[in-house]
A and B are shown apart, each in its own frame.
Chain A
Amino acid sequence: MKLIGVDVGGTFTDLIITDTGTKNTHIHKVPTTPDDPSVGVTRGILELCKYSNVLANQIDHVFHGTTIATNAVLEYEGSETGMITNQGYRDILHIGRHQRPENYSIMQDIPWQSQPLVARRNRLTVKERITPPDGKVLTELDQLGVKKAAKEFKKRGIKSIAVCFLFSYINPNHEEAAKKIINEIYPEAFVTTSAKVAPQFREFERFTTAAMNAFIGPKVRDYVQMLEQRLKKSGLNADLHIMGSNGGVATAQTVSDLPVITLLSGPAAGVLGGAWSAARAAKRKVITFDVGGTSADIGIVIDGQYSEATSRDTWIGGYPVLVPMIDIGTIGAGGGSIAHVDKGGAFKVGPKSSGSKPGPACYLRGGKLPTVTDANLSLGRLDPENFLGGEMRLDRTIADKVINSLAKELGIKKNEAAEGILTIINSNMANAIRAKTVQKGLDPREFSLVSFGGAGPLHGAEVADMLNIPEVIIPPYPGITSAEGLLTTDLKYDQIKTEFQVNNKLDLKRLNRDFKELSQSLFEQYKADGISASKVKQFRFGDLRYVGQGYELRVPISDGILNKKNIEKVWSAFHKQHQQEYGHFFADSPIEIVNIRLTGVGIMPKISAPKVKKKGTINAAIIKIAPTVFRINKKLKTIDTKFYDRNCLPIDKIVRGPAIILQKDTTTVVPPNWTAKADKSANLILTKINPK
């Protein structure tokens, strides 16, 4: 089978093709076409086919990572959206949780007020009310009111409508009925119901998620259609799958209906790509560390399972969204992060970035401020002749100059300033990793750090050092790890239901029935994609908390009928997890199942391990020897350092640090006290000598 992964980034569209039979893999990069990314995607695919001697009509699957939904939110460019909601509750979207995003700011903007997903004029209300705990109807749906509202939206030319009623997560009938009425009166409208998008309690967050789906819906649907057409015109008959934030792919049709599931798809593919490289090297516990020009993304993968964000921690553009997402920590730290002395005289690096335009000063594209890349260059860690495989020249004199002026401002020497920039940015990144490990009861010393993205391999070892992580893995193509990750994913859908059951008066019958219902709707979803139930693996989870708490922890629940005996395992797993996450548990407190979740995984064909057959000597891989600066025993030292060509490194031979390893899409720094070796897993493995 022939598979293509294509990941659209801000500057480049990355592509990878693999033949599952011959195990041949090729990669490619084309400039992103921001006005219509499908142009660049199609061009890239055709070029890659040509370059790898494959005919377009031979491609079986295209896996696509897109930021079209994300950008629509971040740039606030979606459709004018209408909303039908309960009379008396018109402004849930506007009031939110009545909390200001900033504690200390008079001039702040509240995103949902300054940039509402649905303007108040387009929030129309009808009589309707459902009550907990069982979804009893207190007030019948005013169907006439819905008709009137639908007609009004039609008149106003509003093409996307969110239907949001209180307690619809318990009883979605009224939302469905309203949708049906809208469809009859206004069939061309894009209709989203809140219970379909996020069947969970917390009305502001659920309504916002529905409104966001409505806001970006038409744009994403049009994009997906456009891309399908272009691919077809180009002779591709492949199935198009799109990456979701949950780490799985969905069909083009599903994404067209539920675009919110793709909001974090880019970073999600990165986590998968990193996890795949680590799995080849047989590593059980992995931190994925994806560093680009402006930000670093951090994910945790244990035994092939990545952790998922709890539903209260998923935000985009300042709006909460209740959709399953891989738990990814993001920090504004990357190669373009700008170093500066702030108003109070402190030495800061980032979060402001020079991005790719104008970029670091050494790019000579108009950037005048010192960045992390300039610091790496100034310390000799980047080779000005060998950046992007020599396609782009870097100017070291300029890098030295901008860092020198920063050093003067700080009253320290140039190299101290340059190395200081790296120490600060590395420490910021280490803190972000700590938040996902140490603070959740995970010991980083037991993990490997998979370091990728254009800048990850430059910083991986020094960041690992700060956390006492003994080992760093650099994937074969660090610059396109996200595209690679697309070829390791499965068709993944999530079902969720708010349960609100307490363990001391648990209705097991209801619990089992609800799981069964979830399972049925999951199978229907797969059936619509042409996948039979037998091919779908199911995983069950519960979001649990002690009664009274407001935050849940996700606990796996085993398959089969739940009974008084096996449910005990769920409670003890929860206590244990609470202890691990927070350092404390409450043995005597009753436990509440807030939500139950069912994740379905439909297995997709995948990329196979790359072939490695590199022989030769280490010395033959040396490109040059040049001075670089490292801190040894607290003092900065300039050391003659060997620069190696990664492609020429023999397997399993040890390279001692300090060393610099070059390849087209990145540069790997091996600090003193670290070694590197090319591994049969096609990774580069950096190891700390004498780890703590």
Chain B
Amino acid sequence: MTKQNKKHTANSKRNTQSTRKGSIDPVTANVIQGALENIAIEMGYKLMRMSYSSIIRESEDFGAAIIDNKCQQLCESRHSTPLQSGPIPGYVRGVKKLLSGRGEKINPGDVIIHNSAYHGASHGPDVAFLVPVFYKNKLAGFSVTTAHHLDIGALSPGSCGIVDAMDAYAEGLQFKALKVYDKGKRNQPMWQFLHDNIRAPDLVVGDMEAQIAACRIGAERYLELIESYGQKTVEAASEELMSYSERLMRSAISDLPDGSYQAEGHVDGFLDDPDRRHYKIAVEVLVNGSNMTVDLSGTSLQCDDRPINMPLEGTVDCAIWLTIRSILLDSTRYGHIPQNSGLIRPINIIAPEGTLANPKFPAPTIARFVSGNIVADTLMKALSKAVPNKVSAGVGNLKVVAFSGLKEGSHWVHMDIHEGSYGGRYGKDAMDAVDTLYANTRNNPIEDIESHLPLRVSRYELRNDSSSSGKWRGGIGSIREVTFLEDSFISIEGDGHAFKPWGYAGGKRGKPAKVVLHKNDTTKIALPSMMPNRAVQAGESITLTGTCGGGYGNPLQRNPQQVKSDIADGFVSTNTAKKEYGVILNKDGDVDITATEKVRKKLQLKN
């Protein structure tokens, strides 16, 4: 399959800003938009509440969307994480292509499972279920959910931290557009096969059933919508909705000065393997009127036998769309904008085949999570040159740890996402200890983890004196320590150990992450950010120290009163205050204005 220099949209060359077409009145368009969004919200709501594994219900690592018969996304669940809903049109394209290649037809009553990263899926564990919607015996669209599953039968337990998978086959089961229901009939051998090849099958298969139930609700509602308004009206409203989103995006792109904006970022890779580490992500943004091209040429070549590669469709494209949208159409400023395929029409992505950002089958991709976040971060860095007031400084990347063990013959698996943090922003300090960029999951309550798993979360708090200095300070990573109450296994899929998040305009660079294993024999072992499954003993613990984002602007310009407040909160030590902010406190703990001015002048000269 060739994706080189692929134009993602047929009409991306259109320079003139499209205006609203007269085919639907604005009131009906609005009413149908509301109805469509309501459908996606309901799907997401129900999936989240029905599902079993914490990665879906707590981390909200799932997506739900309605797709029209041209594979365009009409709406997505607001609950979902962007990396899940974004790829859904690609899943549907992949399914259609595979089925027609095999000469199979889509029929009413079918339910299709799909997870092929080389056919639109984000990566193997993000399994989609598609329920086709038929109106008057013709395919009118699809109701689709995706969800990150706990385990899909890879070489080691869990679906994160499979960082030693040497190809797509080692990553677990590959579902290439298979029917789990055929014309309404349950394909029992297929379900048995799932049950037999997945660890913790009760949870995983339960979640799959929940996905299908949510899809069916969406399909039913979409059909009701078509029945009450007529297919033509719904299609016209959908088209208007998409061109509406497109107009907003085009208008935002038009506000940028034409030109080229470039940046580079780096991914740790496998730090304990000199041949497979320090990967480069290169981004060039070309703005031309209301069109934007994001060119990743110059990005490192793919890693043939370790799963850090990113599917172009499903990961790289989503990371790019999400970043552009979050910066140019920031929902804090623009309010809620319907997420649909119109938003991406003005954006064209170039990623040469054979690179990290467009790998060739069967290069493994399962651990593409953290590299995709660097694509997003590097794109933001490039855009910082065009819209400095709308970006954050470098984002501290995150990490997933898979915990597992065997209890009474069956597996327990738990995936803990250890958050990173954002960089400082124009006029605002950073967001501390949050999930970042294209991921937006939720952590698990300590009280839930300890009540249900042989783990103790023995520490969870912010790093002290770690915020990167800036006029607006960088985000603070957290420290999370987990003690094993039984002999278990862990694996790690993460980033942020080798490279510091970028500072902006005089802001200091961020602080890297680390992981330490405390052995029972009191030795400490520093673990790399990517680590395949390894055994640990009861009583041992790991300490995860999260990445701190970069600072924004010259720290010498930070309001000294704010620095005083940071000292009180332990975000900054008096020493850092003096050395990096040039702020001196007197004996009473107030800002010594004269001394501060003096030190600041001296530091200014030194810079």
Asked if A pairs with B, the answer is yes
A contact residues vs B (CB 8 Å cutoff): 88-92, 94-95, 97-100, 102-110, 113, 119-121, 131-133, 166-167, 169, 201-205, 343-348, 410, 412, 416, 419-420, 423-424, 427-428, 431, 434-435, 439, 500, 546-551, 578, 581-584, 586, 589
B23: Cβ under 8 A from any A Cβ: no
Q: Is the CB of B434 within 8 A of A166?
A: no
Closest to B459 in A: A88
Closest 8 CB pairs of A and B: A548-B52, A550-B57, A584-B213, A347-B26, A420-B27, A120-B569, A551-B49, A344-B248
Q: Is the CB of B442 within 8 A of A98?
A: yes
Interface 1/0 per residue, B390-413 and A, CB below 8 Å: 111000000000000000000000
Q: Is the CB of B461 within 8 A of A91?
A: yes
What are 15 sample pairs from A and B whose C-beta atoms fall under 8 A apart?
A: A88-B481, A91-B461, A95-B432, A97-B442, A98-B434, A99-B434, A100-B434, A105-B326, A108-B431, A343-B251, A427-B31, A428-B34, A435-B42, A439-B38, A583-B217
In the complex, which residues of chain A have a beta carbon less than 8 angstroms from the beta carbon of B322? Answer: 103-104
Binds A, one of B93-101, B288-296, B450-458: B450-458
Given contacts A98-B419, A343-B251, contact A107 B333 (CB under 8 A): yes
Q: Is the CB of A423 within 8 A of B431?
A: no
B137: Cβ under 8 A from any A Cβ: no
Whole-angstrom CA separation of A589 from B26 in the bound complex:
48
B2: Cβ under 8 A from any A Cβ: no
B448: Cβ under 8 A from any A Cβ: yes
Binds A, one of B111-119, B174-182, B202-210, B553-561: B202-210
Whole-angstrom CA separation of A102 from B326 in the bound complex:
9
In the complex, which residues of chain B have a beta carbon less than 8 angstroms from the beta carbon of A578? Answer: 50
Q: Is the CB of B30 within 8 A of A347?
A: yes
Other than A201-B448, A551-B49, give 8 A-B pairs with Cβ distance below 8 A.
A88-B458, A88-B481, A99-B60, A104-B339, A106-B327, A343-B334, A548-B206, A583-B217
Q: Is the CB of A201 within 8 A of B330?
A: no
In the complex, which residues of chain A have a beta carbon less than 8 angstroms from the beta carbon of B216? Answer: 583
Q: Is the CB of A131 within 8 A of B19?
A: no
Q: Is the CB of A344 within 8 A of B213?
A: no
Interface 1/0 per residue, B436-450 and A, CB below 8 Å: 000011110111101
Given contacts A89-B460, A548-B53, contact A345 B443 (CB under 8 A): no
Q: Is the CB of B49 within 8 A of A549?
A: yes
Q: Is the CB of B330 within 8 A of A549?
A: no
B290 smallest CB distance to A (angstroms)? 13
B46 smallest CB distance to A (angstroms)? 5
Whole-angstrom CA separation of A421 from B49 in the bound complex:
35
Closest to A586 in B: B206
Closest to A410 in B: B26
Given contacts A95-B433, A99-B435, contact A439 B45 (CB under 8 A): yes
Among B422, B433, B568, the residue within 8 A (CB) of A94 is: B433
In the complex, which residues of chain A have a beta carbon less than 8 angstroms from the beta carbon of B51? Answer: 549-550
Q: Is the CB of A88 within 8 A of B431?
A: no
Q: Which residues of chain B from 289 to 330 have any CB-CB distance to chain A below 8 Å in the complex?
A: 322, 325-327, 329-330
In the complex, which residues of chain B have a beta carbon less than 8 angstroms from the beta carbon of A90? Answer: 461-462
Secondary structure class of chain B's binding surface, majority of residues: helix
Among B50, B327, B461, B569, the residue within 8 A (CB) of A582 is: B50
Given contacts A102-B331, A120-B569, A203-B447, contact A431 B432 (CB under 8 A): no
Q: Is the CB of A89 within 8 A of B461?
A: yes
Whole-angstrom CA separation of A205 from B448 in the bound complex:
12
Interface 1/0 per residue, B458-490 and A, CB below 8 Å: 111110000000000000001001000000000
Q: Is the CB of A104 within 8 A of B326?
A: yes
A581 smallest CB distance to B (angstroms)? 8
Secondary structure class of chain A's binding surface, majority of residues: loop
Closest to A167 in B: B447
A308 smallest CB distance to B (angstroms)? 16
Among B27, B30, B456, the residue within 8 A (CB) of A131 is: B456
Given contacts A88-B459, A103-B78, contact A549 B431 (CB under 8 A): no
Whole-angstrom CA separation of A559 from B175 in the bound complex:
50
In the complex, which residues of chain B have a beta carbon less than 8 angstroms from the beta carbon of A106? Answer: 326-327, 330, 380, 390-392, 422, 425
Given contacts A439-B42, A582-B49, contact A423 B251 (CB under 8 A): no
Q: How many A-B residue pairs have CB under 8 A?
A: 229
B73 smallest CB distance to A (angstroms)? 15
B539 smallest CB distance to A (angstroms)? 14
B358: Cβ under 8 A from any A Cβ: no
Q: Is the CB of B448 within 8 A of A98?
A: no
Whole-angstrom CA separation of A412 from B30 in the bound complex:
15
Q: Is the CB of A113 within 8 A of B445?
A: no
Given contacts A500-B451, A549-B50, contact A582 B434 (CB under 8 A): no
Q: How many residues from B make CB contacts under 8 Å with A?
A: 90
Among A121, A343, A420, A439, the residue within 8 A (CB) of B570 is: A121
B40 smallest CB distance to A (angstroms)? 12
Q: Is the CB of B569 within 8 A of A119?
A: yes
Whole-angstrom CA separation of A92 from B445 in the bound complex:
10
Given contacts A98-B443, A106-B330, A500-B451, contact A344 B244 (CB under 8 A): yes
Q: Is the CB of B451 within 8 A of A133?
A: yes
B343 smallest CB distance to A (angstroms)? 10
B236 smallest CB distance to A (angstroms)? 14
In the complex, which residues of chain A have a beta carbon less than 8 angstroms from the beta carbon of B38? Answer: 431, 434-435, 439
B58: Cβ under 8 A from any A Cβ: yes
A690 smallest CB distance to B (angstroms)? 17
In the complex, which residues of chain B have a beta carbon less than 8 angstroms from the beta carbon of A205? Answer: 445
B544: Cβ under 8 A from any A Cβ: no
Closest to B433 in A: A95
Closest to B478 in A: A95
In the complex, which residues of chain A have a beta carbon less than 8 angstroms from the beta carbon of B456? Answer: 131
Whole-angstrom CA separation of A203 from B25 in the bound complex:
49
B41: Cβ under 8 A from any A Cβ: yes
In the complex, which residues of chain A have a beta carbon less than 8 angstroms from the beta carbon of B509? Answer: none
Q: Is the CB of A549 within 8 A of B29?
A: no
B48: Cβ under 8 A from any A Cβ: yes
Interface 1/0 per residue, B216-250 and A, CB below 8 Å: 11000000000000000000000000001101100
Q: Is the CB of A104 within 8 A of B42?
A: no
Given contacts A91-B462, A98-B419, A582-B46, contact A589 B206 (CB under 8 A): yes
B85 smallest CB distance to A (angstroms)? 9
Among B33, B331, B451, the residue within 8 A (CB) of A103 is: B331
Closest to B443 in A: A98
B92 smallest CB distance to A (angstroms)? 21
Whole-angstrom CA separation of A168 from B31 in the bound complex:
48
B16: Cβ under 8 A from any A Cβ: no
In the complex, which residues of chain B have a beta carbon less than 8 angstroms from the beta carbon of A547? Answer: 52
Q: Is the CB of B441 within 8 A of A201?
A: no
Closest to A202 in B: B445
B332: Cβ under 8 A from any A Cβ: yes
Closest to A95 in B: B433
Given contacts A99-B442, A584-B50, contact A107 B428 (CB under 8 A): yes
Closest to B150 in A: A548
In the complex, which residues of chain B have a beta carbon less than 8 angstroms from the beta carbon of A108? Answer: 330-332, 431
In the complex, which residues of chain B have a beta carbon less than 8 angstroms from the beta carbon of A551? Answer: 48-49, 57
In the complex, which residues of chain A have a beta carbon less than 8 angstroms from the beta carbon of B428? Answer: 107, 109
A594 smallest CB distance to B (angstroms)? 10
In the complex, which residues of chain B have a beta carbon less than 8 angstroms from the beta carbon of A431? Answer: 34-35, 38
Given contacts A202-B447, A549-B50, A582-B49, contact A95 B34 (CB under 8 A): no
Q: Is the CB of A203 within 8 A of B326?
A: no
In the complex, which residues of chain A have a beta carbon less than 8 angstroms from the beta carbon of B447? Answer: 132, 166-167, 169, 201-203
In the complex, which residues of chain A have a beta carbon less than 8 angstroms from the beta carbon of B53? Answer: 548
B54: Cβ under 8 A from any A Cβ: yes
Closest to B423 in A: A106
Among A119, A121, A201, A346, the residue within 8 A (CB) of B244 is: A346
Of the candidates A94, A132, A167, A548, the one having the most CB atoms from chain B within 10 angstroms of its own CB is A548
In the complex, which residues of chain B have a beta carbon less than 8 angstroms from the beta carbon of A582? Answer: 46, 49-50, 213
Q: Is the CB of B50 within 8 A of A91?
A: no
